[in-house]
Each structure stands twice: as C-alpha cells, then as structure tokens.
Structure 1
Amino acid sequence: MIVHCASYHDGRRIEAPDDLHGALAAARAAGPGGFVWIGLFEPTAEELDQVGREFALHPLAVEDAVSAHQRPKVEAYQGSLFVTLKTLGYHPAAHAVTGGEVMVFLGEDFVMTVRHGADTPLSGLRAQLEKDPEVLRYGPSAVLHSVCDTVVDDHVEVVTALQADLDELEADIFAPGRVHRDTAGRIYGYKRQVMAVRRATGPLLEPMLRLARGGEPFVRAETTPYLRDVTDHLARVNDQVEGMDRLLSDILGANLAQVSVQQNNDMRKISAWAALAAVPTMIAGIYGMNFDDMPELHQPWGYPAALALMALVCVVLHRVFKRHDWL
C-alpha cells in the first residue's frame, strides 16, 4: 500500500494531489528539478505492478520488490536504478536481532521506497529531509543517500547494543567463582545474532562501494561524497562485527578450556578421596580383620595398632593432598 506520496521541486515540497498520478503530474509540470517521492509498505503484487507500469519499472525489479528476501544489491535497468538494503532491529530483553528490507527505485523524476518488515526505520526520514532543502534539492539522489545513511546508522546502533551485551556476557562467564549452566548455549545464541547482523552488513558493502564510486545512472555526482561517508561507516560496522565473531569464538574456546580444567580438578579430588578410602581397605584386606588380637595373631595390641595405622596414613595423605590443592 502507498503510505505517502508527495511532489518536490528545488528541494521544497509543492502543493499537489496526494494520489500517484496527480503528484507525478505536478512534479513534471514544475520543470527541471521536480520529482515525486512515493513510500510503500509491504505492497501486494497488484499494487506494485500498477506503480511499476506508471514508472516503466523492469519486471524483474518489481518481482524482487514484492517477494523481498533479497541480498543487498544495486541493479541498473533502463529507466531506473534498483537498490536493496537490509534493515536491522535489536531487542535486548530477548537478545534477538530482527530484520527487514528496504528497496529503492530511482529514476530521473521519481524515487520510490518499498519497505518490508517492522524494522524499517524510515518513518521520520521524509520530515527530516523536508527541513533541509539544500540537501533535498539534489532530488532522488538525496533521498537514496538519506535512506542508506539511516539504514547504516541503525546498523551501528544494533552493533553497539550487541557489543554491550557481549561485554556483559564475557564478564559474567569469567567472573571468579561463578558456575554457569549451558554457557556454550548462550555463546552460540550470541553467535547466531552476530551471524544475522553479518548477513545484513557484509553483502551491503559492495553495493555501497559501487554507489560511492559514482557513475551509476540517476545518482548525481554531488551526492557521492555523502555516499562515501556512509560506506566508511558501514566498513567500520563490518570490522566491529568481525571482531565480535572472533571474540565469541575465543570466549567459547576459553570456556571449554575452563570446563576442562574444572573437570580435571574434580577428578583430582575424586582420586584423592578414593586414595584415602583405599588405604584402610588395603590394610583390612591384608590382615583380614577376622583373627584374634592381630596382627600376626594373638597380640593384644595388634587390633588397636592396625586401626591407628589406618588413621595415621589417612591423615598423612589428607595433608599431602591438601598441600597440593587436590582437596
């Protein structure tokens, strides 16, 4: 469905009907520099086909915009430029990264944004641009830059929030004396969130580099410095995401080593207690404990001596194990 439709000329909004045909006619009647900006949210195939016929959009681009689930890309068609972006949202309470998509159709006198998913942060973008006519005067290219900038800024916020949660996870896992269950599961959960971010930010770098280099149809040269700035922000995001992924792998490896050390300590303690129990068993096995006045038969001091020997050996072993931190 069409969420918003407006006409602009020389960076300022002009009075025009709010329907597609009227807005487009007003923009073209305003002369050079006039364009129409249409915003759609999860349109049906019929709705997008209708708009596509109005602007002579390529059927493949229209099909991609309807089905969504596209990789970030830039495709040049006759009469239009098609740009796909992945959007992100982060819910700290659930530790979950969610996503959406924004498609941008760019032409000589029109720009159309198609949004899919709840995490498509473009609601205030139109009002923000209308307050800055010096930027909006660059026409559809200015809208494209602002959409890319907004999406990448949201990527930065998501990665920053995820990094903060990851720092808390690291401190919690390696806190002295803390024992956690299912730590590996928690780490893998964060790795899945980082992977979801990488699927959005990683493939976007190549399309942004294409736009920043210039030469793409319908992208004015005046906007390429701004697009290069967005590309630089995106590159930093990708570096941060790569760092988080490596950190999670290191945390997982360190945690597994920590578990192994703990298991070794437990085995040492079990072995020490087993040794303490084995000594009386051994002595009792040798002498049988079924004769009168042992050891060596008929010696009145033999029975208490055997018990004293057992106690003495157990005390000595306990001290030795304690000194070596086995107990």
Structure 2
Amino acid sequence: MASASVQVSCRVRNRLYVDGALAGVDLPLADLASHRSEQNALIWVDLLAPSVADIVALSPLIGGEVGLHPLAVEGAVSGRQRPRLVRFRDHNLLHARAVRMQAGSDNLAGTDVSIFILPRALITIRGDDGFAIDPILDDWDDNPDLTSYGVGFLLHSVLDNLVDGYFAAIDLLDDQIQNLEDALLLGEGPKNAVQLRSFVLRKAVAHLGRAVLPMNEALSALLRQGVHVLDGDLVPYYQDVYDHTLRATERIDGMRDTIESILATHLAMQGNSLNEIMKKLTAWAAIIAIPTGVTGYFGQNIPFPGYGDTAGFWFSAALLLVLGLGLWWNFRRRDWL
C-alpha cells in the first residue's frame, strides 16, 4: 500500500540506505513509501515524543500492510516501560531507558527509548531529546561498510550509545562516592552531611540500576536464537554490548555496597563519638560528685571534727581539691577526659 502523504506532528528524522549506501537524509515521509517494498532498501526513522496518532500514521508506511501492533504502539508512547524485548508476529519492540547526570545536580535524568525492529526498517522513539541521536548518526557515517548488515547494525549503534551513557553516569557517580568516602575519613563538612549525601547517592544508584539491570535480560533475548534480528557476523558486536551491561551491573552492585559501607561506617563513627561523650560526661559527673559529697558532709548541723572552726573549713576545702584533682588526673591518664 503506497501512501501519497504521511503527516505527523512530532519532530521526525530519517535516513534511507540502498544497497548499503546512504541514499537520503531527512526525506519527506512520502518519499520513503516508494522504497518500502524494495529488498535492497533500509529505512531508519526517529520520532521525538510522538503521540499515538503519529505512530499510527507512520506504521503502515514502515510496517507493511499489517502495520505495528496496537499494543506495541501504546507501549511505545506510554513511557516508563521496563526495559525488555517484546516480540510480535512481524516485528519486535525493544524498550530501553537512557540515563544521564543532570547539569549542576546529583540527580539522574532518564529518557524512555522504544525501538521498533522490522526486517528492513528501524524506528526509534524518544521521550525527549535527552538521549542525543547525533552520536549514533556519526557512528553510522564512520562505519559505512557495516550498513550492509541492515537493521542489525543500526540497532547495535543505538544500543552501544545507550550503554556508553550508562558508563558515563556510573563514572560520575563513582567519583562522587569516592569524594564522599574522603569526606567521611577526613571529617569534613557538617556532621549530617555524609548521611544526607549517602541517601542522595543511593537514590541515584537505584535509579540507574532500574535502567541497567533489566537491559541484561533484553540483550540476552536479542541474542537468543529465533529472534531473527541479528546477522551471524553481528553476534560478536551484540555480545560485546551484552558484556558491557553485565560489567555495568557489577559496578552498580559495587557502588551499592560502598554506599552501605559508608553509611555503616558513619553510624559506627557516630556511635564511637557518642561513647566518648558519655565517658567525658560520666567522668565530670564523678568529679562533681566529690565537692557535692564533701560540702554535704561539712554542711551537717551536728558537731564533727572541725565543726565551728576555721581549720575545719580549710580542711574541707583541701579535701575537696585533692580528691577532685586526683580523680581528674586519673580520668585524664585513662584518656577519659
């Protein structure tokens, strides 16, 4: 079914490859329709924050007579999908999530990415422009010989850039965690700063983990036989991306353990500090008890040695000083004060 015109309201970018060579960039969508049925044509279309109507208008152009499955279209625009590979009769849908550190902030920002994988077409759908498409285009331009592998090569470049973004975020978070460890050991900043910072970083790591960990399963599904996405020669490329996600998962687990260790160490140091304070308070309470006891004894309203005599006053004062200083020296020697 040829379409005279295809109208979408969102921002669209596209490329056309014929016989492995770039034949057109950002063509009118109607022009792509004339190449839809050609066996030597390869089409890529990118939609930025489309509506359901935008994808429905595009799906007959790329997806053939049947078009894209309604559930796939709904899932692609709904957002916040768990990263996974969903298989339909004549196409696959890969949900992923790109992450990046927000400028001037410790928080992670995410972009939902859905990828329709068809025999001779790849449709990428981005929730926002936080996931840049230009590096992917540069990768395609730098490796024109690999475009002969079709959709598998285009998809690999998208996934490779996606995973590279994970490592960029991991490296930044790892540096911040190392700085937090240094601040803990050096005792820099307010007393509660380390604990509050740990909670912020733990939240960021959890956010990153929700994007990275499910990608292991999605990439494993792509590598599974019977998906019919990969050319045999491209399997090592996808295996490399899969290995990178596994390594990213290991680093995320390590960062989680480090943050938990920082929190445990911080609490232990607070407990030790509290013990030191309690020792000092106990020591001073014992010292204060001496003048209380001495003055209480000599303040009795009954006769006692030195009662009503100046010598009794000096004796009590000397006893108070000697006992107090002796106890203070003893605590000081034991490092209680």
Give the TM-score range, shorter chain.
Answer: over 0.9
1:110–1:193 CA distance, 2 compared to 1 (3 A): same
Q: Which runs of 5+ in 1 are unaligned?
A: none
For the Cα contact (< 8 Å) 1:142–1:223, is it kept in 2?
A: yes
Counterpart position of 2:5: none
SS in 2 for 1:35: strand
**Matching of residue 37 in structure 1 with residue 44 in structure 2:** yes
Deviation at 1:290, TM superposition (A): 6.7
**Which segment is superposed worse, 237-246 or 43-52?**
43-52
Bigger shift: residues 282-291 or 261-270: 282-291
Check conservation: 1:74, 1:83, Cα contact below 8 A: yes
Alignment of 1:229-240 (within 5 A): 229-240=240-251
Q: 1:218 aligns with which of 221, 229, 251?
A: 229
- Aligned positions of 1:80-159 closer than 5 A: 80-91=91-102, 93-159=104-170
Q: Structure 2 CA distance, aligned partners of 1:43 and 1:232?
A: 32
Provide Cα deviations, 1:241-278, integer angstroms capped at 9, x if missing partner: 00110111111111111101101111111111111111
Q: TM-score, normalised by structure 1?
A: 0.93
Determine which of 264, 269, 283 is the counterpart of 1:272: 283
For the 8 Å contact 1:130–1:136, the answer to whether it is kept is no
Using a 3 Å threshold, how does the CA distance of structure 1 residues 180 and 81 change in structure 2: closer, same or farther?
same
Aligned partner of 1:53 among 60, 64, 67: 60
Give 1:178 deviation, angstroms. Answer: 6.4
Decide whether aligned partners of structure 1 residues 176 and 17 sit closer, same or farther in structure 2, where only a CA change above 3 A counts.
Answer: closer
Q: CA deviation at 1:15?
A: 4.1
Within 5 Å, give how 1:284-323 maps onto structure 2: 284-288=295-299, 295-323=305-333
Taking a change above 3 Å as real, the CA distance of residues 256 and 220 of structure 1, as seen in their structure-2 partners, is same
SS of the residue aligned with 2:42?
strand
* Partner Cα separation in structure 1 for residue 294 and residue 287 of structure 2: 12
How far does the alpha carbon of each residue in 1:46-75 deviate from its partner, in whole angstroms, 9 at most, with x for none?
111111233211111110111111011111
Displaced runs of 4 or more, over 6 A: 289-292
SS at match of 1:7: strand
Confirm or deny that 1:23 pairs with 2:32. yes
Number of residues of Structure 1 aligned to a counterpart in Structure 2: 324
- Give TM-score scaled by structure 2 length: 0.90
Q: Which amino acid aligns with 1:18?
A: L
C-alpha RMSD of matched pairs (Å): 2.0
- C-alpha displacement of 1:106: 1.2
Per-residue deviation, 1:181: 2.2
SS in 1 for 2:251: helix
Could you say what secondary structure the match of 2:34 adopts?
Answer: helix
For each residue in 1:184-240, what CA deviation from the matched residue of structure 2 results, as whole angstroms up to 9, or x when unmatched? 222111110110000000111011112123431333222211000000001000000
Distance 1:154 1:15, change over 3 A: closer
User: Partners in 1 of 2:109 and 2:302 — Cα distance?
Assistant: 78
Cα separation, partners in 2 of 1:304 and 1:179, compared to 1, 3 Å: farther
CA gap of 1:297–1:131, structure 2 versus 1, over 3 A, is closer
Instruction: State the AA in 2 paired with 1:323.
Output: R
From 257, 268, 292, the equivalent of 1:281 is 292
Quick one: which amino acid aligns to residue 250 of structure 1? S
Unaligned residue ranges in structure 2 (runs of 5+): 1-9
Match of 1:246 among 249, 253, 257: 257
Q: 1:268 to 1:259 in 2, by over 3 A?
A: same
8 A Cα contact 1:84 1:103, kept in partner: yes
- Identical residues among aligned pairs (%): 26
Q: Secondary structure at the match of 1:5?
A: strand
Q: What is the aligned counterpart of 1:6 among 3, 15, 34?
A: 15
Asked whether the equivalents of residues 6 and 38 of structure 1 are also in contact (C-alpha less than 8 Å), the reply is yes
Change (3 A) 1:179 1:127: closer
Distance between the aligned counterparts of 1:12 and 1:310, measured in 2?
Answer: 99
Of 174-183 and 226-235, the range deviating more from structure 2: 174-183
Distance in 2 (CA, whole Å) between partners of 1:223 and 1:53 is: 28
Q: Shift in Å at residue 124 of structure 1?
A: 2.6
